[in-house]
Amino acid sequence: MPQKPDIFAVPPADALSDLLQAVHLHGGEIVRTAAGHPHRDHHPVGSRMLHLVEHGSLRLEFRSSPAVRLGPGDMALLARGDAHVVRTSDAGWFTGHFHVDRVVADPLLAVLPAAIVVRGDSGDVSWLSLGRQLMLSELTDPQPGSRVMVARLLDLLFIRALRLWAASATGAHPGWLTAAMDPVIGPVLSAIHRDPARDWSVPHLAALASLSRSAFASRFTALVGQPPAAYVARQRLDRAAHLLSSTPEPIGRIATLVGYTSEAAFSRAFSRVYGISPRIWRKAPSP
């Protein structure tokens, strides 16, 4: 008799995936640099990238954070987009760039340090060596689909670095990443991000978490850094800002799509958070 094919379950939805989709994360280009002499690169604010060292060493210098030194096989993810300088005299390295929706990403990624450092010789980070080898292969011998392959590799390295940071002691600070990794609050964040327009009352959210209202509110605030109602309100407005910048939908329609019962109430809330009206925001250049 023919054997039944193996069936693998699709991984369940999770808050980290939903949040990364919300910021519209996707990898861009990779640049390979081989420096055999003193070398200095300046990267301005807003440059979200990673540096992955092939050989030698390099130093990352920030305006308001301690410098970071990277050796062979090490990687630094600069998800916040801090301005920095790369200094080296002997290193060869890859620099990968990321694109995000800044309106949504800036407040979410602000909880991270200036650089998440992954040491190539620490723990179970075989994925880092594999990623470096695949990058090298795609850059030195590009094949059809290489551009997409490189973008996917960058996405994978970004997510792996986030996981590693969240699992470390430094990941215990309040913020979306800490909350997304929590088995109780994570599914609640996922539900909010999938449907921010829904009338998310605290009792409803508490029921999703299988906690009492007070226990839920306390745990949510401790992990996320703000109360549930404030978080929901901000997600609605962030979604609205994205729709205003990326679609021609009328403002009244966008207000409805993100859960407001009137355009006037939406405009007041939007202006309070962003400092300008939805109409002016739509006309302004994208950040």
Instruction: Give me the domain span that covers residue 65.
Output: 15-172
Residue 154 and residue 132: Cα distance in Å, rounded? Answer: 10
How does the average pLDDT of the chain come out, rounded?
87
Q: Are residues 82 and 141 in the same domain?
A: yes
pLDDT in tens, 222-238: 988 899 999 999 989 98
Q: Are residues 19 and 132 in the same domain?
A: yes
Q: Of 269, 264, 285, 202, which is closest to residue 236 (Cα–Cα)?
A: 269
Q: Are residues 38 and 140 in the same domain?
A: yes
Residue 82 lies in a domain: yes
Quick one: which H or E segment has residue 196?
none
- The single residue listed with the structure tokens 């994360």 is 25
Alpha helices in 200-262 (DSSP H): 202-209, 213-224, 228-246, 251-257
- Domain's final residue, options 140, 172, 204: 172
Cβ pair 28, 151 in contact under 8 A:
yes
pLDDT band at 123 (very low <50, low <70, confident <90, very high): confident
Residue 2 lies in a domain: no
pLDDT band at 172 (very low <50, low <70, confident <90, very high): low
pTM given for the model: 0.76
Beta strands per DSSP E along 100-160: 116-118
Return the pLDDT at 79: 93
Q: Are residues 30 and 91 in the same domain?
A: yes
Q: Are residues 234 and 253 in the same domain?
A: yes
Q: Are residues 166 and 187 in the same domain?
A: no
pLDDT in tens, 75-114: 999 999 999 999 998 899 999 999 988 877 887 788 788 9
Measured in Å, how far apart are the chain's first and last C-alpha atoms?
61
Q: Are residues 160 and 60 in the same domain?
A: yes
pLDDT band at 287 (very low <50, low <70, confident <90, very high): low
Tell me the C-alpha to C-alpha distance, in Å, between residue 250 and each of 138, 195, 234, 277: 44, 20, 20, 14
Return the pLDDT at 94: 93
Number of domains in the chain: 2
Residue 5 lies in a domain: no
Residue 46 lies in a domain: yes
pLDDT in tens, 173-230: 667 777 887 889 988 988 898 888 999 999 999 999 999 999 999 999 998 889 999 9
Phi then psi for 120, rounded to 5 degrees? -65, -20
